[in-house]
Amino acid sequence: MINIGDYVCVRARDQGCVLGILELVSGRECDLAETRQIYNWEKSALTLQDVILQDPKISKVKLSRVNKKGGRMTEVCGIWHVPDELVEKFKNYPHS
């Protein structure tokens, strides 16, 4: 189950995939803090699920810088919990 305060990966129709701390969910919108845009990964991860379930070094994910204030995601079509043991790895992974 996903709860407010969890580190999650959100997929939205026009905004792509974003990592961050879940602050609010309302219908097909959510607010995130400390966001990072995911914009690419290597073939070792075939799907978004594969990306968030393994060490980011393995999939060589490409992430934006951290936006501390975060933002609102609209047209959300998926919210996935990032495993607790990988949260710090994603938070500290260098931006591309």
Residue ranges making up the domain that contains 24: 7-92
The verdict on residue 81 lying in a domain is: yes
The radius of gyration of the chain from alpha carbons, rounded to an integer in Å, stands at 12
DSSP 37: E
Those residues whose C-beta lies under 8 Å from the C-beta of residue 46, and which sit 6 or more positions away, are none
pLDDT score recorded for residue 64: 96
The verdict on residue 18 lying in a domain is: yes
Q: Which of 69, 95, 91 is nearest to 8 (CA)?
A: 91
Place of tokens 């990988």: 86
- How crowded is the C-beta side of 27, counted as CA atoms within 13 Å? 4
- In this predicted model, what pLDDT tens digit does every residue of 39-79 receive, in sequence order? 998 877 888 899 999 999 998 999 999 999 999 999 999 99
Structural domain total, the chain: 1
The verdict on residue 2 lying in a domain is: no
